[in-house]
Amino acid sequence: MERIAFTMQLKSGVKDEYKKRHDEIWPEMVAVLKEAGVSDYSIFLDEETGKLFAVLCRQDGHGMDDLPNKEIVRKWWEWNAPLMDVQPDNEPVSKPLEEMFYLP
């Protein structure tokens, strides 16, 4: 099992909508993430900067690299694109983070 973390950028004034959409995440989206080997996925918000901090675990031999090819993922990105910084294909702009400390 590998843990990874990354940041994304939320647009101003959309915190409540972003939270609502994730509280009501589509079951099909959850299923595709779990099928890809993702678990223990959390997203936190720094309200001062709008910076989102995400951390998740993924199984060895995970299928995360194929997620952008899944129709439900593309629909999720498109639906959430107005709320955050995205690339031309609506994938959230994300920045991987280097782990500096871990206390299991």
Cβ atoms within 10 Å, residue 23: 7
Residues 6+ apart with CB under 8 A from 34: none
pLDDT for position 20: 98
The count of domains in the chain is 1
pLDDT, one tens digit per residue, over 62-97 is 999 999 999 999 999 999 999 999 999 999 999 999
Would you say residue 41 lies in a domain?
yes
Would you say residue 102 lies in a domain?
no
Would you say residue 83 lies in a domain?
yes
Q: Which residue range(s) make up the domain with 26?
A: 2-97
Q: pLDDT tier at 50 (50, 70, 90 boundaries)?
A: very high
Is 62 annotated as catalytic?
Answer: no
CATH number at residue 29: 3.30.70.100
pLDDT for position 94: 96
pLDDT, one tens digit per residue, over 9-44 is 999 999 999 999 999 999 999 999 999 999 999 999
Residue from 19, 20, 22, 34 carrying the catalytic annotation: 22
Would you say residue 22 lies in a domain?
yes
| CA–CA gap between residue 42 and residue 21 (Å, rounded) | 14
